[in-house]
Amino acid sequence: MGKRILITGGAGFIGSWLADLLLDDGHHVRVLDLLAPQVHGGEGTRPAYLAQDVELIVGDVRDPDVVRRALDGVDGVYHLAASVGVGQSMYEIAGYTSINNLGTAVLLEALAERPVERLVVASSMSIYGEGMYEDTQGRRFPGYRRSRAALQRGEWELRGRDGSPWSPVPTDESKQPDLSSVYALSKFDQERLCLMVGEAYGIPTTALRFFNVYGPRQALSNPYTGVLAIFAARLLNGNAPSIFEDGRQRRDFVNVRDVSRACRLAYDSVSAAGEVINVGSGNAYTILEIARRLADAVGRPVEPEVTGRYRVGDIRHCVADIAFAERAIGYRPAIGIDEGLAELVEWLATASAVDRVVEASAELHRRGLTL
């Protein structure tokens, strides 16, 4: 018999894919979503991609009455509601802290009154800061935060005290957080609050640290969303993707279908309770490579603009070690980058986007958040 599942933020990119999976499994899906204009446009209407069988409650996760109504009769919760974006979080400090931190606290107070059988919360790879590295002797170290002086000199890579280069290696869940942005701090707060309160009230809870999620339904007009969506918005408007630093920074790009499947696996896994788990592809790609591959796939092979500038809060390299995800929940990514980009491009042919990258970059520069 199907269960009643609530997804906060479920009308968004990842949540809508998760809702599709849950419906396919025979569950009743309820979504609580603010339909924020930056993500959904100014109309405030139900997204066309959100399945008609989804029960949608339009409301704010910070509103206790709305949250209690959304939780009425549900068996489990996926908490995905959050403001997303490193750069914007550095000046909309109160807004990010309110939605991400306070919103989570309001949800948890309601769950403390009426516990559910399962809670899965979306965390982020951003809490790691720099990933793990290996020196020329094969010794592993957590990456350090690069100095402003080094960045102003264009010294992008991490090096040892003797000047020898460090090489990025996969980052596992044991790495200590290094919270280099307001967004990262808020995501760490979300995961710790959920795990703490879940343990106190007997709610099995799992935090999933998503890496760079991409795929159809991304908010293309949001200049602070995932980098592939930002590049797509530029290309759809006849503009070259704009890249910070030298473009050789490495990231882990994971398809939204794999991420939504990881969410399902985590809910059903008894051994995942109380754990934090990386959800990525386990593969590293440079930002420059990804920009070029997307441009070619879209059929607009323009050379990306490499700015040589740095954005406060950015890190150099981070790629997921997903060995624990396989052990804990049986997760293995199924969609490679070529297949994923092909599906994204097919969707882009039906999508439109307002390119707000220039104005977003200007705002960051005006505030001294780019060098």
Distance CA(70)–CA(30), nearest Å, equals 7
**Residue 211 · residue 281 · CB < 8 Å:** yes
Q: Cα separations (Å) of 206 from 16, 119, 202, 325?
A: 20, 7, 13, 12
Q: What single DSSP character describes residue 148?
A: H
Query: 2-12 in b/e burial notation, b at 16+ Cβ within 10 A?
Result: ebbbbbbbbbb
- Long-range (24+ apart) CB contacts under 8 A made by 70-75 are 70/6, 70/8, 70/30, 70/32, 71/6, 71/110, 71/111, 71/114, 71/116, 73/4, 74/4, 74/5, 74/6, 74/30, 74/116, 75/3, 75/4, 75/5, 75/116, 75/117, 75/118
**Tokens of residue 350, six digits:** 């039906």
- Strand-strand pairing, 167-169 and 132-134: antiparallel
Q: Is 183 a catalytic residue?
A: yes
Query: Which residues on neighbouring strands pair with residue 8, listed in sequence order?
Result: 32, 79
Q: Which of 156, 320, 313 is nearest to 246 (CA)?
A: 156
Distance CA(330)–CA(203), nearest Å, equals 21
Question: For residue 175, how far is the Cα from the chain centroid?
Answer: 18
Sign of torsion, CA 214 218 219 221?
positive
**Residue of 183, 224, 267, 310 with catalytic role:** 183
Neighbours of 76 (CB within 10 A): 19
Distance CA(347)–CA(72), nearest Å, equals 35
* Residue positions annotated with a catalytic role: 183
